[in-house]
């Protein structure tokens, strides 16, 4: 049986996430008090296969009950229950914009005296323990609904105990870091094709750019060492039951060096038969 706890920041997309899980066959329960999760897992185990995938939404709306969530999860894992945590996050500005659009109150509206920024600060602090033990993490700040759903599908369809999805991404530091990255590598130490006139408007998806980046001995050695490190780390992550690994490469604008390295690593991992998805966050930005 598979159990998923959906949690995270208010306004980060938990309702959309639970809709996706319901669409792919999960029995979904919203605003579940953590102490009842253990009871429900027992009921499911006695259902003789009638319910085999369950998702709970547990968040700050549960008040004092929610504070026991990490203990409940530890207990379930100690009992060998197959339970995963999906943590949804978003930037402060995105959350504020969404609340203004929906005109709903934040769950911590009263304790923050109606100041939504204060409510967000309080909630982030309260969520630190559960965020630190999440198996899946999605930052929905700049993600469209369709992109969000696609990411959910890639995480939760065709899962097995040995399954791990590896997301290799590129980004530009000038547009902000990659908050979802488990492993983030800065490749700004390499020569920048941006300053080569005939390469400036192209990207790492063009062979001229990737050839330029990889012609240098430092780039070749860096890629080799990173591949060796990642080859060593992946089995360790899998052993710990990690279901999603996000490896991100950053350069200044997210168009040349980071894209090249993301593509090179993805090719290396695909050759080893890992399930890999590649995306380039800032490749079309200026």
Cα 33 from Cα 154, distance rounded (Å): 28
Report the candidate in 217, 218, 200 with the shortest Cα–Cα distance to residue 256.
200
| Tens-place pLDDT, residues 182-203 | 999 999 999 999 999 999 999 9
Q: What is the pLDDT of residue 163?
A: 57
Average pLDDT over residues 96-124: 91
Mind listing the pLDDT tens digit for each residue in 76-88? Answer: 989 888 899 999 9
How far is Cα of residue 115 from the mean position of the Cα atoms in its chain?
28
**How far is the C-alpha of 103 from the C-alpha of 27, rounded, in Å?**
29
What domains sit in the chain, N to C, each tagged with a CATH number?
Answer: 2-156 (3.40.50.300), 165-280 (no CATH)
Mean pLDDT, residues 214-232: 97
User: Tens of pLDDT along 137-174?
Assistant: 999 998 888 888 888 888 887 554 445 789 999 999 99
Q: What span, in angstroms and rounded, lies between the C-alpha atoms of 76 and 241? A: 15
Give the CA distances from residue 214 to residues 17, 207, 257, 264, in Å, rounded to whole numbers and listed in that order. 39, 10, 9, 10
Q: What is the pLDDT of residue 254?
A: 96
Helices in the chain by DSSP H: which ranges?
A: 14-23, 34-45, 69-78, 92-102, 116-132, 145-156, 207-214, 217-239, 257-271
Is the four-CA dihedral 207, 209, 212, 214 of positive or negative sign? negative
Average pLDDT of the chain is: 90
Minimum mean pLDDT among 46-55, 93-102, 124-133, 202-211: which range?
Answer: 46-55
């Amino acid at each position: 049986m598979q159990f998923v706890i959906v949690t995270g920041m208010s306004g980060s997309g938990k309702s959309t996430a639970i809709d996706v899980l319901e669409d792919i066959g999960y029995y979904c329960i919203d605003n579940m008090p953590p102490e009842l999760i253990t009871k429900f897992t027992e009921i499911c185990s006695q259902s003789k296969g009638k319910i085999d995938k369950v998702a709970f939404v547990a968040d700050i709306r549960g008040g004092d009950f929610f504070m026991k969530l990490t203990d409940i999860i530890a207990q379930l894992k100690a009992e060998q229950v197959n339970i995963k945590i999906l943590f949804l996050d978003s930037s402060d500005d995105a959350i504020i914009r969404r609340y203004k659009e929906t005109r709903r109150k934040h769950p911590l509206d009263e304790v923050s005296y109606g100041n939504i920024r204060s409510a967000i600060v309080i909630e982030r602090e309260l969520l630190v323990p559960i965020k630190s033990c999440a198996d899946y993490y999605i930052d929905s700040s700049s993600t469209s609904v369709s992109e969000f759903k696609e990411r959910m599908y890639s995480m939760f369809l065709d899962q097995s105990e040995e399954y791990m999805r590896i997301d290799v991404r590129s980004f530009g530091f000038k547009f902000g870091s990659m908050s979802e990255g488990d492993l983030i590598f800065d490749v700004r130490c390499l020569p920048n094709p941006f300053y080569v006139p005939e390469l400036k408007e192209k990207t790492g998806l063009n062979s001229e750019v990737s050839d330029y980046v990889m012609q240098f001995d430092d780039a070749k050695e860096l890629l080799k060492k990173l591949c060796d490190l990642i080859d060593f780390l992946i089995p360790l992550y899998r052993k710990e039951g990690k279901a999603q690994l996000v490896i991100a490469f950053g350069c200044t604008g997210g168009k040349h060096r980071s894209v090249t390295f993301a593509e090179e690593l993805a090719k290396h991992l695909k050759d080893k038969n890992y399930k890999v998805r590649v995306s380039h966050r800032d490749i079309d930005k200026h």
